Amino acid sequence: MKQFTTSAKNFFILLFSYPEKKIFVDESYSFEKAKTIAGLFYAILVYYALSYFTQWSYSPPIPVNFSPLWPVFWTHYVPFSNALNIMRVFFLTSVLFGAYFFRYRVARIFVFLAFLELFGFINSFGGITPNIYPVLYATFWLMFLPDAWDNPVSSEERKKFLFVFWGTQLFLLLTYTFSAVGKFYYAFVDFQMGRETILAPYALAYYIAHWLPRLQGASLLGPFFVRHQIVGWPFMLFTIYLQFFSFLIAFRPALHRLWALGLTLFHIMSHLTLSLLFPESVLMLLVFFYNSPFYRPNTTLREQLCALPLFGPVLRPLIM
């Protein structure tokens, strides 16, 4: 029993120190890059805010089913059009403030609050719009960045900075993993009840045939996948593979870029088949993973293939 306790303790110590031992290997390089990306993130949010402005100018939300969520409780007390304008002004000034003063935590807190307000408002019309949440998650985690922008910075501060950045990456990836966990869970439930499951060859075709006509939707590849149901199967299985192992990728920096590309292609396919686009998720992949501070530029394709979950161990003897 004592041996088991010691082994368990050692395991947790190893897990607890994993980021600095295995991910923040080139600490100075990663730190400088993470600082640049954090600044870039806040600059991009201004563009994001402006694109929202354009939408709002021409197509204000329809005030039906409006039932304010907790972050926008105050809209109960002002006319709808005034609430809209207050939100717009607060949103734009906060993201501008954040882009200019992103080094200061107070500015990052304002950006988080602005997104909390905006997304709370958007979700106050009876439905859930989760596709916009990843931006909110990122603004939340980046609030915790330590004040370590100007040299000299102690190693402890650098590690804290990198851990917050890596925590943001992990959180974003976990959303994909949970999506796959949900698919496995319901596949098990559906199988038990003798219903069609997500793992069936025709699942994608059923989704397309169910989803698009209901909403008067159309997509480029939807009709093809409904006609040739079996062709969609590998795409569905590959998507579940990508989603399920996403959390693991946070611990394998060699795969940060490749995996982000895979997930981007998944989002593009969702649009081409189901006419569903998650631009915010793609934006987060672009910002946090395509130029990940933990990815070493000299990583070879062979190393990336060997690091692949499930397939890596099979490929290793063949390509090494």
Partner 1 sequence: MSYSSLKIFTILFFIFYFGTAIYLEPKPSDHVFPFFSWFLFSNPPTKITSLYTLRVLESGGEKLNSPVLLRDAQTFVYLKANAPTVLEAIIERLAKSIISSDGEKIAALRRELELYFLTKPTRYEIVLITYDLIEYWRESKVRKVDVLATFTTDNLR
For binding to partner 1 (CB under 8 A), which residues are involved?
A: 16, 59, 62, 64-65, 69-71, 116, 119-120, 123, 125-128, 130, 133, 136, 144, 156, 159-160, 163-164, 167, 170-171, 174-176, 178-179, 181-183, 185-187, 189-190, 195-198, 200, 203, 205-210, 212-217, 226
Query: Toward partner 1, which CB reaches closer, 209 or 237?
Result: 209
Cβ 205 to partner 1 shortest distance, Å: 7
Query: Toward partner 1, which CB reaches closer, 140 or 149?
Result: 140
Query: Toward partner 1, which CB reaches closer, 226 or 308?
Result: 226
Query: Toward partner 1, which CB reaches closer, 104 or 206?
Result: 206
State how far the Cα of 312 lies from the Cα of 306, in Å rounded to an integer.
Answer: 4
Residue 134 burial by Cβ neighbours in a 10 Å radius (0-12, 13-18, 19+): buried
Cβ 16 to partner 1 shortest distance, Å: 6
Query: Toward partner 1, which CB reaches closer, 267 or 316?
Result: 267
Query: Toward partner 1, which CB reaches closer, 110 or 137?
Result: 137
Cβ 208 to partner 1 shortest distance, Å: 8
Cβ 303 to partner 1 shortest distance, Å: 27
Query: Toward partner 1, which CB reaches closer, 246 or 292?
Result: 246
Q: Where are the alpha helices (DSSP H) in 59-132?
A: 80-100, 105-122
Cβ 218 to partner 1 shortest distance, Å: 10
In our burial notation (b when 16+ CB lie closer than 10 A, e otherwise), range 55-94 reads eeeeeeeeeeebebbebbeebeeeeeeebbeebbeebbeb
Cβ 136 to partner 1 shortest distance, Å: 6
Query: Toward partner 1, which CB reaches closer, 210 or 302?
Result: 210
Cβ 298 to partner 1 shortest distance, Å: 28
State how far the Cα of 131 lies from the Cα of 34, in Å rounded to an integer.
Answer: 25
Cβ 201 to partner 1 shortest distance, Å: 11
